[in-house]
Structures are given as C-alpha cells and as structure tokens.
Structure 1
Amino acid sequence: MEIRLNTDNNFTASAAFLEKVSEELKKKLHRFSEYITAAEVFFGDENSNKTGVNDKRCTIEVRPRHLHPEAVTHYADTVDHAFNGAVDKIRNLLDNRIGKLQSR
C-alpha cells in the first residue's frame, strides 16, 4: 500500500511526525492491505494562526482495488485527535465495504 501525506499552507509538519503518521496508518489498516492500493492523508488547520475549537482537520482517502476511492474527514482540537478520528472512520468504512465483498 502506497501512502502519501499532504499538509495545507497553514500547517507544517516535521519529517518525524509524517513518518510516525505513515507507520501508524500502515499498522491500523494492515488487515485491509491486500485490498488497498493507495492511501492519502491530508492535514490542515482551518483557522491558520488563530485558535479555535475543532480547527484541525485530517482527511484520509483510500483507493481499494476494484472499488471507487473513499474518503473521510475528522475535525478535532489537535492534529493527533483529528488523525485518530479519521483512522477510526476509515476503518469502519472499510469494514463495511470490504465485508460486503467478502460475503459475496
């Protein structure tokens, strides 16, 4: 599974952070690895330099084999919480989509 990481102009991430995110995503989506060809993670800060509630955004898009791409977005107070929320959402979505394929 190929993983691409992106940030918007309002959010800068260190190489260590991006590596951690990549490894965490591989680990959490491991059971779907034979079905997913690529995953793309987008991080953003909705309010730029201002503080705000739930202003950090993480969108995860996956490209399953033989299916249309799917994407989820989660907003939270921190980037870590946004990432973890998006991972939970994409795992639930993949459980649903892949589960239907397996039951056929």
Structure 2
Amino acid sequence: MPHLAPLADKLTAAEPWAVRNWLATSKGVQVLARLASQKAEITHEVLDGLEQDGSTRYLRELLVTTGVLPRRDENLHGSSSGSTLPSTACLPRS
C-alpha cells in the first residue's frame, strides 16, 4: 500500500529491537494489518470508528508522526492523545 510507505520507511530505520517488540506485543499492529488488508485508505475518520483505546491512539500518533496522516487537533474531534501515549521516540525523526 503506497500510502503506508512512510511508515515502512520509519520502521526499517528504527531500532530493530523496538520494532520487534512493537510487532510482537501491540494490538495496534493487528489493527493496522486489518485496515491495510481492506485496501482502503487509512484516514482519521476510519480510526475514529475504532475502539479508542491506547493501542488505537498510539497507532494514530504513529501514523501522524510518520506522515501517513495529517496532524489534527484531537480535542476538536472528541479524542485526546494526552500524555498516556507510549513514546514514539524509538522512531527516527524526519
């Protein structure tokens, strides 16, 4: 899926242990795989339709951080990323 290429680029450039850990333990990986298999574009609106738990919030932030999704004011859209998100610091910055 070409629109996920920025995420793939960041993951291949990140610390391998961090990526392996995320792939092995994150519910967000399963959500991403399910969304990617539908071959529809992943948007904020698609993510809004999912359960808004920590995994979904982290996945959204990861997609924003990597440029797959545009940044938006989550306070205006009824969800809050807050300070409860795990850090995306293991990913290389652009």
Q: Report the structure, 1 or 2, having the larger strand content.
A: 1
Which has a greater percent of helix?
2
TM-score (norm 2): 0.29
Which structure has the greater CA radius of gyration? 1
Higher normalized contact order (CA 8 Å, seq sep 6+, divided by chain length): 2
TM-score, structure 1 normalization: 0.27
